[in-house]
Amino acid sequence: MTRIKTNVRQLAVVQICLLFVCFASSLFAQDENYKKKFDELTKRTEWFRDARFGMFIHYGAYAIPARGEWVQSNEKISVEDYKPYVDAFKPGSYKPEEWAKLAKKAGMKYAVMTAKHHDGFCLFDTKLTDYKITTNMPGRDFVKEYLEAFRAEGLKVGLYYSLIDWHHKDYPNVGNHPMRDNKEWDKKKYNWDKYLEYMHAQIKELMTQYGKIDILWLDYSFDDYENEKWKAAELVKMIREYQPDIILNNRLVFNHGASSIKREFTGYGDYETPEQALPESDLVDAYGNSIPWETCLTLNNTWGYNATDNVWKTPEAIINALVNCVSKNGNLLLNVGPESEGTIPQQSVEILTEVGKWMDKNSESIYNCGPADLPKPEWGYFTKNGKNLYAHWTNSMIGHINIKNFNKEVEKVTVLTTGEPAAVSENWWGNSDQGNYFINVKAPTYLTFPLPDENDTVIKLELKEE
């Protein structure tokens, strides 16, 4: 009897152990699988993380009323009342070649243009609706022309596509729909599957009819309109089937743009998209891996052309934002909102030209760079590429900059902005205080000299080892 009992007990222990082993190995398998996906993501996003700086372009019929791309929703305009703007949108002087030249001059490496925004009007020759540019201007597929112009300048090309559609009859009256206060509209019947079919089919057109697309920027999820509501798994599978190397943003899921992301990160998108904000640190996934991200930023306060929005950021603020992003392993996607005829506002051109001048001298501290393993200094930021450490002196205070407790061997220190050697000293007026590394544009390091670039004077430190 005792013997039987012991056997039963032993059996139970063996079973529990087996269960535990199975459970543990399934956990392990999940981890391995995640790791594999994460490695693929790392490989796929390599050019993107190296590029660091791109141009966002919000262009569409909303440039006619000139009150931003949300005008239809903000002013609760019906499709019928919005139609005159759409009909009037026939920009004879649309020249994306000029945009591409400006992007290149600013030091940008890629671009993303709105193929369709929330108003539903398409800038491409879709077969699925007449609500498109080729109805207004036969033979002029603006997406195609944009892609050709940007590729010709050697820039990578991306397309923005709105998941939301205020024009489609099967898109419900939800979220910030322009008809949200119209009780009659609530009674309307809509067929969600039909809208999904349309949306998937349009994305398929974009993925199949325009050659290689480098980025797809889907926008955006809200409330329970996320993930499988969009049939995201099927959509992503289709996208990757036609464009295996495409980089996909993360807006098929809600909660984009949070300042710290701690979720598994290889499902519906390749990178996070904080909007109009700079995260406080680099972004990590559920396992602490640093993940790709891109802050998108307007030059004034609206994405689409807004004739009365004159709150322009300074070139200095933009350079700072770019450096800030790179120092935290992120990208900057900087927006322009061309006027209805396709001209980029003069203020935007001026800011981008200034940024371009800075990039001409200092871009090696941006491209292929990421965070340095050093605390953020009060005088600016660090970026790093292998053995090259870049000190971005954005906060021109008194005297020198100091890298406290710096224990790396340095082979050469130059002012990248001028190409001149920098002055370095490890003590302060002969004081033998340890752990300082003072740098200035000239000797003696303790005095104050005018900086060659008030926006950001970059000091390059060539290290002996990474």
Helix (H, G, I), strand (E, B) or coil at 392: strand
Nearer to ligand GLC, 313 or 387 (CB): 313
How far apart are CB 162 and ligand GLC at their closest, in Å? 8
C-beta closer to ligand GLC: residue 69 or 309: 69
Check residue 296 for interaction with ligand GLC (CB under 6 A): yes
Q: Which residue in 145, 153, 275, 426 binds ligand GLC (CB under 6 A)?
A: 275
Our CB check for ligand GLC shows the closer of 116 and 460 to be: 116
- Counting residues that bind ligand GLC (by CB under 6 A) gives 8
* C-alpha–C-alpha distance, residues 232 and 253, integer Å: 9
CB of 134 to ligand GLC, least distance (A): 23
Interface with ligand GLC, residue 69, by CB under 6 A: yes
Residue 393 is a binding residue for ligand GLC (CB under 6 A): no
Vertex 215: Cα angle to 213 and 217 (nearest 5): 125
What order do you get walking across the sheet with 410-415 strand by strand? 380-385, 388-393, 457-463, 410-415, 420-421
Distance CA 123, CA 113 (A): 10
Instruction: Calculate Rg over the CA atoms of the chain.
Output: 26
Task: Report in angstroms how near the CB of residue 433 gets to ligand GLC at its nearest.
Answer: 48
Q: Which of residues 345 and 380 has its CB atom nearest to ligand GLC in the complex?
A: 345
Cβ atoms 277, 297 nearer than 8 A: no
Closer Cβ to ligand GLC, 51 or 333, answer by number: 333
Q: How far apart are CB 77 and ligand GLC at their closest, in Å? A: 15
What does the per-residue mask of binding to ligand GLC show for 178-207, with x meaning CB under 6 A?
------------------------------
Please give the residues from 217 up to 236 whose contact with ligand GLC meets the rule CB under 6 A.
219-220
Separation CA 122–CA 131 (nearest Å): 6
Q: What is residue 340's DSSP assignment?
A: T
Strands 110-116 and 53-57: parallel
Gap between the Cα atoms of 416 and 414, Å rounded: 6
Considering Cα of 243, then 249, then 251, then 255, what sign does the dihedral take?
A: positive
In b/e form, how buried is each residue of 414-452, taking b as 16+ CB within 10 angstroms? ebbbeeeebbbbeeeeeeeeeebbbbbbeeebeeeeebb
Distance of closest approach, residue 70 Cβ to ligand GLC, in angstroms: 6
Helix, strand or coil, per DSSP, at residue 445: coil
Name the minimum Å distance from CB 305 to ligand GLC.
12
Q: Pick the binder of ligand GLC from 48, 146, 198, 303 (CB under 6 A).
A: 303
Assess 336 for contact with ligand GLC (CB under 6 A): no
Q: 337 or 371: whose CB is closer to ligand GLC?
A: 337
Binding site for ligand GLC (CB under 6 A): 58, 69-70, 219-220, 275, 296, 303
